[in-house]
A and B are shown apart, each in its own frame.
Chain A
């Protein structure tokens, strides 16, 4: 974000943020394809946003901000090309011996320095060029040849229009680290020849985008409540926004809708997930009156659209499970047999340890703690996973085996570095060692992951 401009008035600031978030990705995608240069497009959009911050305050917000941004960014890109090529011509005049090397390296006739290796794009703009461009950009940022951290940073930066300081703050990284990550990712895109193109295996590639958006959501979901810093960008809302965007770009894709429904079910419960002191509140103890009913209704509608496509997938199944929880009138009225069945399908589909542990917890809710423990104890390769030990500890406590429960809580606590979880596990260990007087809810506390 522009730093040197005088602070604009509030409504101008809001218009600027909206412009950066909602329009900069679209313009960047279009310019990247037209100019065949991701860096140039990014720099041009940043130049245009800086100009907006400088001139919109005094002159007022233009009538058509998206049109303004495209026109100004395009002009900025051309300005930059002109500056680069005239600087290059001056260099050539002073040191003509550099020309041959640069030409062989750049392969573009020596019109630009060799670092301007062109971005590979296809020529067919498709039926709906602009949105097609944004899909290409999203797929480029989430290319499997980029590391997960690079994919996440690039997606938020280039598609989401977040600034480097905003992303760095959201992930608790230094700005220099994040900026370096983005520079390296852009360099790999250029040097390895990662194309800005709709791939043949679109579904596989959309899966990668979904896993990036899921990670962004989880990062926001898990960190919310740890920091009272209101300046931090809300990654939960950003993930939902970008998943909605992907839903527009590939309409009726069941897994995209599944992830969106999952995110919205979780977002509906966010306010009750931690108490005033920032401690985790278990699903069964959350104040359901404070759940966002409109958000749950919206999630139900999205999930219904996903399921009606009759192509099940892991995100849809997770949304189904989140939906059973969100729609249950009380913790006691939760449809555990249906949830256990959904987890069984999810185990078959993914085999992930998280899912297997959650399946065991659901089985325990249906058939008792010992049945759940039997499922847990049959799992292999989960010993280093804190939620396995946390779930096992809860079931042991419930089965009346307090010493084993305490040991498992201790093991779980040692395996997580999340302070809120550590406090929660320490508290639960104490409670397991000194069982509270029997009362409503006593002895049925179970901690499925993602349920708090």
Chain B
């Protein structure tokens, strides 16, 4: 089996930044967890995302042109059904890729990745 784990957290909570006390300890915890996944053969992909202020949502409804809006996906009638992690030149290309997902009625939230442990 393969699973996706979704991390929900308060993005406004205080966290130490680089160079601040406690930062190294915090990062060490993440690195150890990532390493555990990798060593145990569990690792497929993972990343932290930038805050919701950077989010853009593409709404598809049938044959109408996809609508692009500022902000995260908030509708509760649709449920999370999958994910892609893609590489794109810029947000325009990411929007184009999202709009091409073969689901005629769906919304796709696009958020830039902040940090990915296995990024080259």
A-to-B contact residues, CB < 8 Å? 95, 97-98, 101-102, 104, 120, 143-147, 150, 184, 187-188, 191-195, 197, 199-200, 204
Stretch of B5-13, B33-41, B75-83, B85-93 that contacts chain A: B85-93
CB-contact partner of A102 in B18, B53, B71, B88, under 8 A:
B18
A48 shortest CB reach to chain B, Å:
29
Specify which chain A residues have a CB less than 8 angstroms from the CB of B54 in the assembled complex.
Answer: 188, 191-192
Q: Are A192 and B91 interface neighbours, CB within 8 A?
A: yes
Specify which chain B residues have a CB less than 8 angstroms from the CB of A120 in the assembled complex.
Answer: 89-90
Name the CB-closest residue of A to B50: A191
CB-contact partner of B19 in A98, A147, A188, A192, under 8 A:
A98
B-to-A contact residues, CB < 8 Å? 18-19, 50, 53-56, 65, 67-71, 88-92, 94-96, 110, 112, 115
Q: Are B112 and A193 interface neighbours, CB within 8 A?
A: yes
B45 shortest CB reach to chain A, Å:
18
A268 shortest CB reach to chain B, Å:
34
Q: Are B91 and A194 interface neighbours, CB within 8 A?
A: yes
Q: Are B89 and A192 interface neighbours, CB within 8 A?
A: no
A95 shortest CB reach to chain B, Å:
7
Q: Are A145 and B18 interface neighbours, CB within 8 A?
A: no
A40 shortest CB reach to chain B, Å:
19
Q: Are B18 and A188 interface neighbours, CB within 8 A?
A: no
A211 shortest CB reach to chain B, Å:
13
Specify which chain A residues have a CB less than 8 angstroms from the CB of B71 in the assembled complex.
Answer: 147
Distance, CA A157 to CA B67, complexed state (A): 26
Q: Are A144 and B19 interface neighbours, CB within 8 A?
A: no
Q: Are B91 and A197 interface neighbours, CB within 8 A?
A: no
Name the CB-closest residue of B to A139: B92
B95 shortest CB reach to chain A, Å:
7
> 7 closest pairs, A vs B, by CB?
A144-B68, A195-B90, A101-B18, A145-B56, A147-B70, A191-B54, A120-B90
Q: Are B89 and A188 interface neighbours, CB within 8 A?
A: no
Q: Are B70 and A194 interface neighbours, CB within 8 A?
A: no
Q: Are A195 and B19 interface neighbours, CB within 8 A?
A: no
Name the CB-closest residue of B to A187: B53
Name the CB-closest residue of A to B19: A98
Q: Are B53 and A188 interface neighbours, CB within 8 A?
A: yes
Q: Are B112 and A191 interface neighbours, CB within 8 A?
A: yes
Q: Are A144 and B18 interface neighbours, CB within 8 A?
A: no
Known: A145-B91, A150-B70, A199-B92. A192 touches B56 (CB 8 A): yes
- Chain B contact residues: over half helix, strand or loop, or mixed? mixed
Specify which chain A residues have a CB less than 8 angstroms from the CB of B112 in the assembled complex.
Answer: 191-193
Distance, CA A153 to CA B91, complexed state (A): 21
Specify which chain B residues have a CB less than 8 angstroms from the CB of A146 in the assembled complex.
Answer: 70
Name the CB-closest residue of B to A145: B56
Q: Are B53 and A145 interface neighbours, CB within 8 A?
A: no
Q: Are A194 and B90 interface neighbours, CB within 8 A?
A: yes
Known: A98-B19, A145-B70. A195 touches B91 (CB 8 A): yes
Q: Are A95 and B56 interface neighbours, CB within 8 A?
A: no
Distance, CA A77 to CA B92, complexed state (A): 27
A350 shortest CB reach to chain B, Å:
13
A155 shortest CB reach to chain B, Å:
15
Distance, CA A192 to CA B70, complexed state (A): 11
Name the CB-closest residue of A to B68: A144
Distance, CA A144 to CA B66, complexed state (A): 11
23 examples of A-B residue contacts, CB within 8 angstroms: A95-B19, A101-B18, A120-B90, A145-B69, A145-B91, A147-B69, A147-B71, A150-B70, A184-B53, A188-B54, A191-B53, A191-B54, A192-B50, A192-B54, A192-B56, A193-B88, A193-B112, A194-B90, A194-B91, A195-B89, A195-B91, A197-B92, A200-B96
B22 shortest CB reach to chain A, Å:
14
A255 shortest CB reach to chain B, Å:
15
Specify which chain B residues have a CB less than 8 angstroms from the CB of A197 in the assembled complex.
Answer: 90, 92
B34 shortest CB reach to chain A, Å:
15
CB-contact partner of A98 in B18, B56, B70, B88, under 8 A:
B18
Distance, CA A145 to CA B89, complexed state (A): 16
Specify which chain B residues have a CB less than 8 angstroms from the CB of A147 in the assembled complex.
Answer: 69-71
